[in-house]
Chains A and B, each alone.
Chain A
Amino acid sequence: MDITCNGEQMAVEQPATLNDLVLSLGLNPQTLVAELNGRIVEHNDFAAHPLRENDRIELIRFVGGG
């Protein structure tokens, strides 16, 4: 199925959760927060969110800032 993650279109194999996607991208879920179709998902809940066709995902983390 096709999803959009951080503005990039990508294909992921079904079934997959948000947690599966994060791990497949080489990211540590503990360091992230996500928006799934505009709704905030904390990293503890990533595994409870199955992905669906055309989902829009934003993966966000802290960076240096003033």
Chain B
Amino acid sequence: MLTIADKKFSSRLFVGTGKFSSSRVMREAVEASGAQMVTVALRRVDLTNPQDDIMQALDRDAVQFLPNTSGARNAEEAVRLARLARAAAGTAWLKLEVTPDPRTLLPDPVDTLIATEKLVREGFIVLPYMNADPILALRLQDAGAAAVMPLGSPIGTNQGIRTAMQVRIIIEQARVPVVIDAGIGAPSHAARAMEMGADAVLVNTAIAVAGDPVRMAHAFRLAVEAGRETYEAGLGRRSTAASASSPETGLLNADLGFIQN
């Protein structure tokens, strides 16, 4: 069971709700994923499309809403979005995202730390999106982050865990849950993150843009469960030398006369 800020989650797969072709597909994919934590974004209402409402598509009794601060380019904008999110959702849970460069969408470490400190003081449950920097993870943890969310690779790239060395150190050192966020492009990437000991993964693009998003959501669910089970079972040691799986005694060889050369 995963615990973040005193709330328990039986699913270790968090899913995003962006980029889906329709609200119906998004809702079915969220259900198929088994996710209990679901990210959403805040935007200006499109006055030409007033009925477009994601809140109606999600069962808020079944999932924890995790509003993000996507679009924030600095700490000040992130804090503004966080306060709006809390007012709109009635929840203090927050995925903090500060991405000054729209080309890379890489998170600003300094402003992420500044915003985390401020929002924790205001009573938010802050899950910061961060680069896979072990020192920054400790600083965010010390600032009161409820979890840390290092990236596997840049948002939406589907490149997998390109930051494995740093992620291992973050996992080793963390006292708060570690959620691998961004870049997870295939269930095998998610399984790998979980095998490494990540507490959860957050997936959006890989599900939303799949040929069949609902089945892909289910595939991610299975992969995350398999990866976690693997981690808890404990993988065998790696070796460069071969080692037979079958007994090496009692062989039926030429000396015994069974095998004719």
Contact = CB atoms under 8 A, between A and B. Distances in A.
A64 B54 contact: yes
Interface stretch (B45-53, B165-173, B216-224, B248-256): B45-53
Interface residues of A, number: 24
A33 B70 CA distance: 17
B87 A65 contact: no
B155 A61 contact: no
B180 interface: no
Interface stretch (B35-43, B109-117, B118-126, B225-233): B35-43
Contacts, number: 95
B45 A65 contact: no
Interface string A25-66: 111100111010000111000000000000000111111111
A6 B47 contact: yes
B241 interface: no
B4 interface: no
B17 A60 contact: no
Nearest to A38: B80
A33 B88 contact: yes
B45 A27 contact: yes
A28 to B, nearest CB: 7
B41 A64 contact: yes
B162 interface: no
Interface residues of B, number: 36
Query: Chain B: interface secondary structure?
Result: mixed
A3 interface: no
Interface string B1-27: 000000000000000111110000010
Interface of B: 16-20, 26, 39-45, 47, 50-56, 65, 67-68, 70, 83-84, 87-89, 155-156, 182, 202, 204-205
Given A31-B53, A42-B88, A65-B41, 12 more contacts: A6-B44, A6-B47, A41-B87, A60-B43, A62-B42, A62-B67, A64-B41, A65-B70, A66-B18, A66-B70, A66-B155, A66-B156
30 contacts: A6-B47, A8-B47, A25-B47, A27-B45, A31-B56, A41-B87, A42-B87, A42-B88, A59-B44, A60-B42, A60-B43, A60-B44, A60-B45, A60-B84, A61-B45, A62-B41, A62-B43, A62-B54, A62-B55, A62-B88, A62-B89, A63-B40, A64-B16, A64-B20, A65-B68, A66-B18, A66-B41, A66-B156, A66-B182, A66-B204
